[in-house]
Amino acid sequence: MKPTNQTQLSEFLLLGFAEYSALQPLIFGLFLSMYLVTVSGNLLIVLAILSDPHLHKPMYFFLTNLSLVDVCFTSTTIPKMLVNIQTQSQAISYAGCITQMFFSLLFGSLDDFLLTVMAYDRFVAICHPLHYMVIMKSHLCVQLVLVCWVIAVLNALMQSLLMLRLSFCSHMEIPHFFCELNQVVQLACSDTFLNVLMIYIISVLLGGGPLAGILYSYSKIISSIRAISSAQGKHKAFSTCASHLSAVSLFYGTVIGVYLSASAAPSSASTATDSVMYTVVTPMLNPFIYSLRNADMKKALKRLLFHK
């Protein structure tokens, strides 16, 4: 069959949870609940930080951005999946698929970059405490976030434009609950060498680079904490980065786990189920991680909710 460009066709089919047809109402309720918890939890974090002058610090500025990105990240995938379940349809248009792919790449990358910037913030706070406010000035914090946005937009735009050059045949079924880049590339019946090459290069640069930065920052942080003489001082220093370390471990642990499990058992059900961890569960848990392990956040949330 002669390849036909997908722009002349109508839609892809998202088959992520199609194997669980009898459980669709349960899946709908579960994902709706998780989505509402994610949005409300992250927006509460943002409102608490904005309303409390004591939290107008670099660390909480980055946390505000991370919370907003988490809301946007889940909003690119879950609402469409909920609509499809409710309408008993698995379809997503070609334009909608490319758009969803762009924004999922954008906000997924931003999550990664912001966690790296937050690691740098913790590195400066613990290793250079006397110069912290001198180094982490407001304009530097804004510049760091803008750099994250620029890199993330360029990556998402490049990957999406490369997708537009591909042609697709009649096999339009995506074994996922959203238009994940790798899954869509595998459906193309034209040459995908450039797309696959760029996916690997970008994964190494934008995945390995931030991870290396985080590991370097924490190696310095651990060295500085070990040099502190008192146990109380060590505990206080570690507590300032415990929430961030938990968020980093959750993010990278789920992402690495998803891709390892996808390589071992690449079925639609397992791939979609595993991907829920980093696309839904991680953004949902971040507000709890930062509020339950942070005394200042607890106080700000109490003042916001109970006007105390």
Residue pLDDT, tens place only, 259-275: 666 555 555 555 666 67
Looking at residue 1, its pLDDT comes to 39
Taking CA atoms, 62 is separated from 71, 104, 152, 196, 269, in Å, by: 14, 20, 16, 32, 35
Looking at residue 98, its pLDDT comes to 94
Does the residue 180 lie in any domain?
Answer: yes
Residue 92, beta-bridge partner list: 12
Looking at residue 138, its pLDDT comes to 93
Does the residue 297 lie in any domain?
Answer: yes
Does the residue 5 lie in any domain?
Answer: no
The 8-class DSSP code of residue 169 comes to: -
Rounded to whole angstroms, the Cα distance separating 235 from 228 reads: 10
Does the residue 7 lie in any domain?
Answer: no
Q: How many domains does the chain have?
A: 1
Residue pLDDT, tens place only, 75-126: 999 999 999 888 888 899 999 999 999 999 999 999 999 999 999 999 999 9
Closest CA relative to residue 279, chosen from 60, 34, 42: 34
Handedness of CA 79, 251, 183, 203 (dihedral sign): positive
Looking at residue 227, its pLDDT comes to 87
Which pTM value belongs to this model?
0.90
Longest Cα–Cα distance of the chain, Å, equals 73
Does the residue 2 lie in any domain?
Answer: no
Looking at residue 2, its pLDDT comes to 42
Q: What is the CATH number of the domain that holds 179?
A: 1.20.1070.10
Q: What are the strands, taking DSSP E only, across the chain?
A: 11-14, 91-93, 173-174
Please report where in the chains the tokens 């349809």 appear, as a residue.
89
Does the residue 227 lie in any domain?
Answer: yes
Rounded to whole angstroms, the Cα distance separating 224 from 239 reads: 14
Looking at residue 265, its pLDDT comes to 53
Residues of the chain scoring pLDDT < 70: 1-10, 171, 259-274, 308
Domain range enclosing 158: 12-306
Taking CA atoms, 266 is separated from 117, 176, 183, 186, 261, in Å, by: 33, 11, 10, 12, 7
Number of neighbouring beta carbons within 10 Å of residue 78: 23
Closest CA relative to residue 267, chosen from 26, 18, 3: 18
Does the residue 67 lie in any domain?
Answer: yes
Handedness of CA 41, 42, 47, 48 (dihedral sign): positive
